[in-house]
């Protein structure tokens, strides 16, 4: 049993099952999520006899750093080795006054988006809660307290809502003040459009929601995002309108500008109409060129014209600057395999 897959409440129940008081579970949880925790002998508030007994009751796994790459813009990407030999990538994006960590939720991805390099890996497996929250812990260890990330975005490898139960457990660990102690206002979960899980996420959590939209009509979206054939835009937009938002909270819509395909003024006008009635923020993402993927970036003037149309329609619209492009850490570029890391 991997203790890091368990929330504080889970560990309290585990302690009771072992004939111990519940507070032993809380004590263990606090130690498990301290940076550089390596051995049960460090749990100094356990009696010595219990510390010696712990390895026979369970274990905990830490991610192994395989590679680190640093971009000219300061973005850092790590390939982490998992316990079964698989590899997952994590990105730390620097900001003016804070850092953001981009967390992966699966090895590979089954969604098949045509513009995404991760999709070319196919689906390998889901990440466990310990492996998702563990990416955050490992990065904190690597960069130190001064560069500790303040924001978490579940936008790395994989579709977060396709790994729903493990995602919820990792969120519980990340949000716990005895765990990694992040604010729900600082966590955003992205999805390509798994409509039933969007509805559940709004009921089960109060984290931010980001929609990987990338096209304003079903015809174009179905060509580049197969999920749209299962959950077309009408269903996706309905789920967004029904999503529980706290006051001043907005849904972020990620929109990929593919040259000649999704970047025309007509697409901007369709997008403005599509999102009417939704508290929305729009992030425009000029396509980052990816090996073996035959799309082209938009022209700079096309990007600005697209933004202007949306701003004229009173949407907060931000052009996302490509970060980490030179180390393949930008949006849609994550791709890791055991063979590539050997």
Q: What is the pTM of this model?
A: 0.92
* 172 assigned to active site: no
**Same-domain status, 178 and 117:** yes
**What does the angle CA 84 – CA 138 – CA 111 come to, to the nearest 5 degrees?**
55
Please answer whether residues 209 and 251 qualify as being in contact, where contact means their C-beta atoms are separated by less than 8 angstroms: yes
**Same-domain status, 74 and 36:** no
**Same-domain status, 192 and 274:** yes
Rounded CA-CA distance 138/36 in Å is: 9
**Same-domain status, 161 and 286:** yes
Residue 29, pLDDT above cutoff 90: yes
Which residues, 6+ apart, have CB-to-CB distance to 234 below 8 Å? none
Catalytic site residue from 102, 109, 240, 331:
331
Instruction: Write out pLDDT tens, residues 250-264.
Output: 999 999 999 999 999
Catalytic site residue from 89, 131, 159, 254:
89
Rounded CA-CA distance 34/222 in Å is: 44
Kindly state the tokens that stand for 252.
């972020």
**Same-domain status, 228 and 302:** yes
Q: How many CB atoms lie under 10 A from the CB of residue 273?
A: 10
Please give the sequence-ordered ranges of beta strands (E in DSSP) within 76-221, or none if there are none.
76-81, 87-94, 99-102, 106-108, 123-126, 151-154, 187-191, 208-212
Interval 74-82 mean pLDDT: 95
Rounded CA-CA distance 136/319 in Å is: 26
**CATH number, domain containing residue 36:** 1.10.150.530
Kindly state the tokens that stand for 61.
């796994």
**CATH number, domain containing residue 219:** 3.20.20.70
Which residues, 6+ apart, have CB-to-CB distance to 15 below 8 Å? 21, 22, 23, 24, 25, 28
Range of the domain at 50: 3-56
**Same-domain status, 326 and 279:** yes
**Same-domain status, 169 and 115:** yes
**Same-domain status, 133 and 231:** yes
* 89 assigned to active site: yes
Instruction: Write out pLDDT tens, residues 148-183.
Output: 999 999 999 999 999 999 999 999 999 999 999 999
Of the three residues 31, 56, 81, the one that is the final residue of a domain is 56
**Same-domain status, 113 and 49:** no
For the chain, helix, strand, coil in percent to 5 are: 40, 20, 40
Instruction: Write out pLDDT tens, residues 206-221.
Output: 999 999 999 999 999 9
**Same-domain status, 49 and 149:** no
- Structural domain total, the chain: 2
Give whole-number Cα distances, 315 to 228, 269, 274, in Å. 24, 12, 12
3-state class (DSSP) for residue 64: strand
Of the three residues 17, 38, 56, the one that is the final residue of a domain is 56
Please answer whether residues 144 and 256 qualify as being in contact, where contact means their C-beta atoms are separated by less than 8 angstroms: no
Residue 333, pLDDT above cutoff 60: no
Residue 334, pLDDT above cutoff 60: no
Query: How many helices, marked H, and strands, marked E, lie in the chain?
Result: 12, 12
**Same-domain status, 253 and 323:** yes
Rounded CA-CA distance 12/5 in Å is: 13
**Same-domain status, 122 and 52:** no
Residue 291 pLDDT: 72
**Local confidence band at 272 (pLDDT 50, 70, 90 cut-offs):** very high
Kindly state the tokens that stand for 68.
């680190």
Residue 329, pLDDT above cutoff 80: no
Please answer whether residues 76 and 91 qualify as being in contact, where contact means their C-beta atoms are separated by less than 8 angstroms: yes
């Amino acid at each position: 049993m991997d203790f890091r897959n368990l929330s504080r409440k889970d560990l309290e129940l585990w302690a009771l099952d072992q004939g111990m008081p519940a507070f032993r579970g809380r004590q263990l949880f606090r130690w498990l999520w301290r940076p550089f925790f390596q051995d049960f002998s460090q749990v100094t508030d356990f009696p010595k006899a219990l510390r010696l007994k712990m390895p026979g009751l369970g274990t905990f796994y830490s991610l192994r750093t395989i590679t680190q790459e640093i971009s000219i813009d300061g973005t850092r990407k790590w390939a982490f080795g998992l316990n079964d030999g698989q590899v997952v990538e994590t990105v730390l994006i620097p900001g003016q006054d804070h850092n953001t960590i981009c967390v992966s939720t699966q090895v590979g991805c089954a969604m098949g988006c045509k513009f995404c390099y991760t999709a070319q890996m196919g689906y390998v497996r889901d990440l466990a809660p310990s492996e998702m929250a563990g990416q955050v812990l490992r990065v904190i260890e690597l960069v130190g307290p001064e560069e500790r990330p303040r924001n978490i975005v579940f936008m790395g490898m994989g579709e977060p809502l396709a790994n729903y139960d493990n995602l919820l457990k990792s969120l519980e660990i990340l949000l716990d003040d005895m765990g990694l102690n992040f604010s729900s206002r600082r966590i955003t979960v992205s999805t390509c459009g798994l409509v039933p899980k969007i509805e559940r996420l709004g009921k089960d959590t109060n984290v931010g929601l980001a929609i990987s939209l990338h096209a304003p009509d079903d015809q174009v979206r179905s060509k580049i995002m197969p999920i749209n054939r299962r959950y077309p835009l009408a269903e996706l937009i309905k789920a967004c309108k029904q999503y529980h938002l706290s006051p001043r909270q907005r849904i972020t819509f990620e929109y990929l500008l593919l040259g000649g395909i999704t970047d025309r003024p007509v697409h901007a006008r369709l997008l403005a109409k599509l999102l009417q009635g939704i508290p929305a923020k729009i992030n425009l993402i000029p396509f980052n060129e990816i090996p073996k993927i035959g799309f082209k970036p938009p022209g700079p003037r096309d990007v600005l014209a697209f933004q202007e149309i949306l701003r004229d329609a009173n949407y907060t619209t931000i052009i996302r600057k490509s970060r980490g492009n030179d180390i393949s850490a930008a949006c849609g570029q994550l791709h890791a395999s055991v063979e590539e890391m050997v």
